[in-house]
Amino acid sequence: MSTVLVINSGSSSIKYQLVDTVGGEALASGIVERIGEAAGSIKHSFAGTTTSRTDPIADHGVGLRAVLDLFRELGPDLQEVGIAAVGHRVVHGGSVFDGPAIVTDEVIAQIDALSPLAPLHNPPNITGIRVARELLPDVPHVVVFDTAFFRTLPEAAATYAIDAEVAREHGIRRYGFHGTSHQFVSQQVAQILGRRPQDLNQIVLHLGNGASASAVRGGVAVETSMGLTPLEGLVMGTRSGDIDPAVLIHLQRNAGMSVDEIDDLLNRRSGLKGLSGENDFRTLHDLVAAGDAEASLALDVYLHRLRKYIGAYFAVLGRVDVVVFTAGVGENDDIVRARALADLESLGIAVDLEKNEGRIREPRVISPEWATTTVMVVPTNEELAIAQQAVDLIGVVDDAADLGHA
Ligand code: ADP
């Protein structure tokens, strides 16, 4: 059995995808939205058809039950398909989880204990796991953490230079996020180039609405731009990324802003949106072309930060074999890709404008032949990565059980 139901449970939504890990395809997918509100909705896509329903959805349990009913009604029938596992995306695995884990009551308690580090994400993730376990009790459930790939960060990269006691007491360190994507994409790169992961040093640029960079040495993550939370690092759609921490103190002391207001400012009213009112790159480029000064500055700030990180990761790695772009912006935006790596020929890095042109849906090399660093675009697929990790983990556990019986 190789099919996995992947669930990503948020505070008011459940995204799901039924993934065939052998073919690497999504057999069906959908989303339950506005859980707990007066008008909820479910969209279910299967065999080229998307069906939408609007119904009040009281809670996650009602939502997931409705999804399972849709699988029965519209297909594919989960009984017939025979799912190997349910794979759950969990945002924060703290210092506890360095890889996927089979869900047990103890694992749920551990994820719950990490909730103070991700108060908006871990609690709804747990809700999704609980209801899925109740409704699908006969299949193993596996959790895959956004932070796990970055458990290998060296202490020098993971440690904030603050009072060590305070940091220890409150779990304050750099955890990193988007790890499933950085791991998947860096492994894909090695496979596509026919190289062993341990022989490659890579800079992975996951540029979506949220954005993060990582440095991967020989398949192992050694640096990443996100920290205690997904707020640190690159300029993002609505998040500030790096900022002088004294700005927060200043806003509280002198502008009278509350902690919640500052949280909202930095997470939802900053980044490209805060600078220009627009966080979608397609519109942003149109505004720039029309001479909009704010949009132009927003794009410049975004690219300046991105280039700073690329330069920093060259120094971290010493030798960079591959720079790879992924996620919504990385896969679709040729302007961002070209400008991110412009004028770096002296580092052996360049983008061939013809190879770079347009949206890129399949893995592709976009650097010229002479470049010493290969530049690539590799579409990410977090659902497939979660499904593969779930199947692999169950395989390992089953093999261990078989050996135990022998
Ligand atoms: P997330 O998963 O973080 O929400 P995605 O990886 O889906 O984000 O990326 C979404 C972003 O991708 C959009 O905000 C938009 O800026 C960008 N994007 C999507 N399509 C295009 C396109 N054709 N050209 C340029 N940018 C695009």
The CATH number linked to 75 is: 3.30.420.40
For the segment 159-167, the average pLDDT, to the nearest whole number, is 98
Question: In the structure, what pLDDT confidence band is assigned to residue 406 with cuts at 50, 70 and 90?
Answer: very low
Residues 235 and 109 in one domain: no
Residue 405's pLDDT band (boundaries 50, 70, 90)?
Answer: low
Q: What strand order describes the sheet that includes 3-9?
A: 49-55, 40-46, 25-33, 14-20, 3-9, 83-90, 141-145, 101-102
Q: How far is the CA of 380 from the centre of ligand 1 (A)?
A: 12
Same domain, 124 and 217: no
Whether 62 maps to a domain, the answer reads yes
Is 173 among the domain residues? no
User: Are 354 and 228 in the same domain?
Assistant: yes
Total domain count for the chain? 2
List alpha helices for 50-208, DSSP H.
60-74, 78-81, 105-113, 122-135, 155-158, 164-170, 179-193
160 in any annotated domain: no
Phi, psi dihedrals of residue 48, rounded to the nearest 5°: 80, 0
Domain assignment present for 101: yes
* Angle (deg, nearest 10), helices 105-113 and 122-135: 160
Looking at the fold, whether 125 and 225 belong to one and the same domain comes out as no
Asked if residue 371 has pLDDT above 60, the reply is yes
> Is this prediction's pTM over 0.75?
yes
Which member of 146, 163, 242, 321 is catalytic? 146
111 and 8 share one domain: yes
Q: From the CA of 233, how far away is ligand 1's center (Å)?
A: 18
Query: Does residue 291 sit in the same domain as residue 378?
Result: yes
CA of 209 to the centre of ligand 1 (A): 6
**pLDDT tens per residue across span 304-326:** 999 999 999 999 999 999 999 99
- Asked whether the predicted pLDDT for residue 261 surpasses 60, the reply is yes
Is residue 221 included in any domain, yes or no? yes
In a domain, 72, yes or no: yes
Which atom belonging to ligand 1 lies closest to the Cα atom of 284?
A: 16
**Same structural domain for residues 342 and 207?**
yes
Tens digit of pLDDT for each residue in 204-230? 999 999 999 999 999 999 999 999 999
| Residues of the domain holding 311 | 195-382
Does the residue 162 lie in any domain? no
Counting from 1 in the atom list of ligand 1, the atom nearest the Cα of 236 is 3
Q: Give the residues surrounding ligand 1 with Cβ less than 6 Å away.
A: 208-210, 237, 279-282, 327-329, 332-333, 359
Least confident of 44-48, 120-124, 241-245: 120-124
The verdict on residue 180 lying in a domain is no
Statement to judge: residues 136 and 236 lie in one domain = no
The pLDDT score that the predictor gives to residue 403 is 65
Determine the atom of ligand 1 nearest the C-alpha atom of 380.
Answer: 6
Nearest CA residue ID for atom 19, ligand 1: 328
pLDDT of residue 120: 87
Q: Is 146 among the residues known to form the active site? A: yes
**337 and 222 in one domain?**
yes
